[in-house]
Amino acid sequence: MQTFRTVHFEPENDAPRIRQTHDSPKLKLQYLQEILEDKASSRIDGVVIDACSAQMVLQVYSRVGKGLQRRLLGMSVEKIVNTSSKLMTR
């Protein structure tokens, strides 16, 4: 017989690190790499990013050309994750 356990999430504990990029492409990339290294979620510009999302974004970033890399990092963090998700399915 299966038993189910209820898990409660507290907003303060879900994303312990809060980061602001101030539209700096280098900081966005650095914060994504930190998330992947630490395997802990973080809030970047108000968007919670977990390790799986960070890995997906970095994989897409490493496989596209220089022009698209600049364009990708010029977007907001939410759009970066959504665009990377769409590119990953292709």
The pLDDT tens digits of the residues spanning 16-56 come to: 688 898 889 999 999 999 999 999 899 999 999 999 999 99
pLDDT attached to residue 12: 54
Which amino acid is it at 68?
L
CA dihedral 58, 63, 67, 70 (to 10 degrees): 0
Q: Work out the burial of residue 34: count CB atoms within 10 Å of its CB; fewer than 13 is exposed, 13-18 middle, 19 or more buried.
A: middle
The structure's pTM equals 0.79
Q: Which two tokens stand for residue 47?
A: 């968007």
